[in-house]
A and B are shown apart, each in its own frame.
Chain A
Amino acid sequence: MSKGFVVLLALVVLPLWGCASSTPSAAPAVSSPARPAFPSARRVAIVATGESHFAVVENSAEPGRTFDEVLKWNQYGPMLRPLAVLVHQGINWLVGLDRAAGTTPDVGAVSPSLIVTNALARALHASGRFEEIRALAREPLGAERRGVDAIARVTVPQWGIVRVRAGDPDLLSAFADVRAQLTVPETGVIVWETSQDVTAPDRLPLASFKDRRFTGGQLLDLLERAGQRLASELLYARSDGQ
């Protein structure tokens, strides 16, 4: 391999270095066990927080696999492999960006975390296990803050469309990676937290998602589902059916 090629690879990679860190990965399915303070939380405020990033995640094996094949025959192959990984991630990030531009739904100024927060609040209220559930777009202040036993903070770091089945055509689903953390406002102690990768049950070709209204509907349904999923795990963590 010529020095020129290495320099070219570096030139391609370095501007995308920051992009590589945004390579999506499903949120780990973490759900911490309930702690003693948790069952007594009867009045809960749920707050939507954080930024949400829309993405079309293909998880493609190419061009990385081809890089590996090429590097296998090169004496500097093992040394260059990390570079190949970055180039692969950079190229796929650009492809994903292009696809995201073609599929981003028209959901206006709606915040994914707010939709999940509202769905979570409705599900918890319907469970009949709480005295009061309040969904908020900002942190509660003053008397409002003192009036709750716990504050649940909901974030949706990433949402969009992900390839879930390889084939011809590939099949994709709406997805959202969501996190929730329940804290006691007086002490700031975290009594429960979870990260959930939520995926829509429908699997469709990419062409179906070119219809932005349809995509918008799929994503809104998925965010509702994400709120119900969080509620399910939160209720499950409350031991003894309280």
Chain B
Amino acid sequence: MTRVPGASRRALGVVAVVLIAGGCASTSGLDIGYPAASANRAMLGSVAPLRIGISPVVDRRLDAVRIGSAAKGGADIVTSRPVPEIVHDALATEIGKNGHAVVTTDADAILAAEVDEFWLDIVPGYPEIQYVGKVAIALAVVNAHTGERLLARRYFGIRRQQAGPDAPDAAREVMDTALARTIHDLATDRELVAALAGLGGGASAPKSARQ
């Protein structure tokens, strides 16, 4: 019985640690990403395997500190990882899933990406809230052997969703989907497929894409 107060103190200590950690977790930002499980081997997979380098993604956003503001109080909404890292990883996932090697040296092609927008709008409604997430990136494909710029494209993905005020994952899911739509547009872009095919896998690209 004499040990009970000590145990209680330890329990209180554990509770305090958990509460503090919980508080930290709530302010650590949205864990936005493009999971490999949701990626498909699609049109980019029709190009013969290449060694593709991805340059550090350049952040061109007007407001690079946050990705939005909370509807109540206007607190900054941030991501748990830097936005350029999120976009870099999404590109690497898609390239890898399509049978190409993501490399840092001896590449056939270099993908140079810039993030133009990565933003979440929260429109207060009643009784639900509308979330609108937008991701916009610019992508250049460079022949790693010659330095020639083969292609410059812009892609964007927007997700609009209504959710109740008690939906804790709505903001993250909206941004996940906006990112996925951007990557899907990129992965099914016949001009991108043709540019990569021209680096060695030309025969596998569809005829119309090479014209």
A joins B in a complex: yes
Interface-located stretch among B20-28, B51-59, B75-83, B184-192 = B184-192
- The reply to whether the CB of B89 lies closer than 8 angstroms to some CB of chain A is no
In-complex Cβ contact of B126 among A60, A199, A229, A233 (8 A): A60
- The reply to whether the CB of A61 lies closer than 8 angstroms to some CB of chain B is yes
By secondary structure, the A interface counts as mixed
Interface-located stretch among B4-12, B37-45, B107-115, B145-153 = B37-45
- The reply to whether the CB of B123 lies closer than 8 angstroms to some CB of chain A is yes
What band does the interface of chain A fall in when counting residues whose beta carbon is under 8 Å from B? Answer: 35 or more
- The reply to whether the CB of B159 lies closer than 8 angstroms to some CB of chain A is yes
In-complex Cβ contact of B44 among A198, A232, A238, A241 (8 A): A241
* Cα distance, A165 to B44, chains bound together (Å): 35
* Cα distance, A165 to B161, chains bound together (Å): 13
Pair B206/A129 contact, Cβ less than 8 Å: yes
- The reply to whether the CB of B160 lies closer than 8 angstroms to some CB of chain A is yes
CB distance from B58 to the nearest CB of A (A): 20
CB distance from A39 to the nearest CB of B (A): 11
- Please, which residue of chain B has its CB at the minimum distance from the CB of A67? B126
Q: A29-B177, A241-B42 are in contact. Are A61 and B126 (CB under 8 A)?
A: yes
In-complex Cβ contact of A236 among B126, B161, B187, B204 (8 A): B187
* Cα distance, A192 to B183, chains bound together (Å): 20
Interface residues of A in 196-242 (CB under 8 A from B): 197-199, 201, 229, 231-233, 235-242
- The reply to whether the CB of A26 lies closer than 8 angstroms to some CB of chain B is yes
- The reply to whether the CB of A166 lies closer than 8 angstroms to some CB of chain B is yes
The number of residue pairs between A and B whose CB atoms lie closer than 8 Å in the complex comes to: 110
By a CB distance below 8 angstroms, the chain B residues around A62 are 126
By a CB distance below 8 angstroms, the chain A residues around B132 are 164-165, 199
- Please, which residue of chain B has its CB at the minimum distance from the CB of A163? B123
By a CB distance below 8 angstroms, the chain B residues around A120 are none
Pair A197/B42 contact, Cβ less than 8 Å: no
By a CB distance below 8 angstroms, the chain A residues around B71 are 166
* Cα distance, A229 to B181, chains bound together (Å): 8
* Cα distance, A27 to B9, chains bound together (Å): 51
Pair B208/A236 contact, Cβ less than 8 Å: no
Q: A64-B126, A85-B127 are in contact. Are A26 and B207 (CB under 8 A)?
A: no
Pair A239/B190 contact, Cβ less than 8 Å: no
* Cα distance, A87 to B44, chains bound together (Å): 51
- Please, which residue of chain A has its CB at the minimum distance from the CB of B183? A236
* Cα distance, A198 to B156, chains bound together (Å): 11
* Cα distance, A60 to B128, chains bound together (Å): 10
- Please, which residue of chain B has its CB at the minimum distance from the CB of A127? B190
- The reply to whether the CB of A187 lies closer than 8 angstroms to some CB of chain B is no
- The reply to whether the CB of A111 lies closer than 8 angstroms to some CB of chain B is no
* Cα distance, A242 to B132, chains bound together (Å): 33
Q: A166-B124, A241-B45 are in contact. Are A29 and B207 (CB under 8 A)?
A: no
Q: A26-B162, A164-B132 are in contact. Are A235 and B42 (CB under 8 A)?
A: yes
Top 3 closest A-B pairs, CB basis?
A: A128-B206, A64-B126, A241-B46
What are 7 A-B contacts defined by CB distance under 8 Å?
A26-B160, A129-B206, A166-B121, A237-B40, A238-B42, A239-B41, A240-B42
